[in-house]
Amino acid sequence: MASEGRQANPVKHYVLVHGSCHGAWSWYKIVALLKSSGHKVTALDLAASGINPKQVGDLRSISEYFQPLRDFMESLPADERVVLVGHSLGGLAISQAMEKFPEKVSVAVFVTASMPGPTLNISTLNQESLRRQGPLLDSQFTYDNGPNNPPTTFTFGPLFSSLNVYQLSPTEDLALGTMLMRPLRLFSEEDMSKDLMLSKKYASVKRVFIISEEDKLAKKDFQLWMIEENPPDAVKEIKGSDHMVMMSQPKELWVHLQAIAEKYS
């Protein structure tokens, strides 16, 4: 199958952006599958994520968190266009990249990802997400600015991860996740709104949303709400997948990513 894909498809360059508390490592199955089909793949660590050397306390804005993706996009040759893929919170990172580098993106793929837009601001998106959020169980917050101020970091707890993030993924991937996760810096709504002002530049980029049917973190009704509020060019759905689609249904995601890249190249 891989050799067939290599013959049929011209080489695409996929840029994979991870979600909250995760890193480039979370894409390891997709990286292997796409490379086996002959494609070029870049899986990035955002700041203070994965093996990025920054520490979570160093980050002062969400723009600093996204800096590695912006640096990468700036480094691309002027004539190269990539397939941007964002998972979960990575949807915000690729949204900023779409706004700043629309000419370098052939298509943006939101994999059960946060999907703001010119008509759906980050404040409304966050409020709706919080309204639908269930108990966070053993997940941890830190309060580096004191207990009377908003929390500064968040980390998924092992129990929460097993029940709501990785519940359909192999147990080995859950174990990997709990070993490699790093705290997520929490930013103010004001900061996020300032750095995620999206315009017709963002809107000029083709967008596809991939629904994860049994996602318990970003539930299907929330995914459908985002799609309704900020309609993409196409919607795909993967069944039998949890929030970690790339862990629970990697081959289905791989097939979708190749078909999307082919259609919008």
Q: Which amino acid type is present at position 143?
A: Y
Q: 3-class DSSP state for residue 6?
A: helix
pLDDT value of position 1: 43
Catalytic, 87? Answer: no
Whole-number Å distance between alpha carbons of 172 and 165: 14
- pLDDT tens-digit profile, the chain (265 residues): 444 444 456 999 999 999 999 999 999 999 999 999 999 999 999 999 999 999 999 999 999 999 999 999 999 999 999 999 999 999 999 999 999 999 999 999 999 999 999 999 999 999 999 999 999 999 999 999 999 999 999 999 999 999 999 999 999 999 999 999 999 999 999 999 999 999 999 999 999 999 999 999 999 999 999 999 999 999 999 999 999 999 999 999 999 999 999 999 8
Mapped onto helix, strand or coil, the DSSP state of residue 164 is helix
pLDDT at 163 (0 to 100): 99
Q: Which helix (H) or strand (E) holds 156?
A: none
Q: What's residue 265's pLDDT?
A: 84
Containing 211, the helix (H) or strand (E) segment is strand 207-212
pLDDT at res. 8? 53
User: Using CA atoms, how far apart are residues 238 and 112, in angstroms rounded to an integer?
Assistant: 10
Catalytic residue among 20, 37, 49, 88: 88
Residues 72-105: pLDDT tens digits? Answer: 999 999 999 999 999 999 999 999 999 999 999 9
Greatest extent of the chain over all pairs of C-alpha atoms, in Å: 60
Q: Which CATH architecture has domain 2-263?
A: 3-Layer(aba) Sandwich (3.40)
> Whole-angstrom Cα distance, residue 36 to residue 179?
27
Instruction: With beta carbons less than 8 A apart as the criterion, state whether 207 and 227 touch.
Output: no
Distance of CA 226 to the CA centre of its chain: 15
Q: What is d(CA 225, CA 44) in angstroms, rounded to the nearest whole number? A: 28
Place of tokens 């192999």: 170
The pair of three-digit structure tokens given for residue 251, joined into one six-digit string = 């081959």
200: number of CA atoms within 13 Å, CB side? Answer: 0
Structure tokens at 134: 């269930």
Does residue 114 have an active-site annotation?
no
Domain ranges of the chain: 2-263
Q: Amino acid identity of 156?
A: F
Among residues 22, 34, 23, 26, the alpha carbon closest in space to that of 83 is found at 34
Return the structure tokens found at 76: 């691309």
Q: Is 215 annotated in the active site? A: yes
- Helices 122-131, 220-229: inter-axial angle, 10-degree rounding: 160
pLDDT value of position 48: 99
The residue annotated as part of the active site, out of 45, 173, 195, 215, is 215
Residues 22, 39, 243, 256: which is the catalytic one?
243
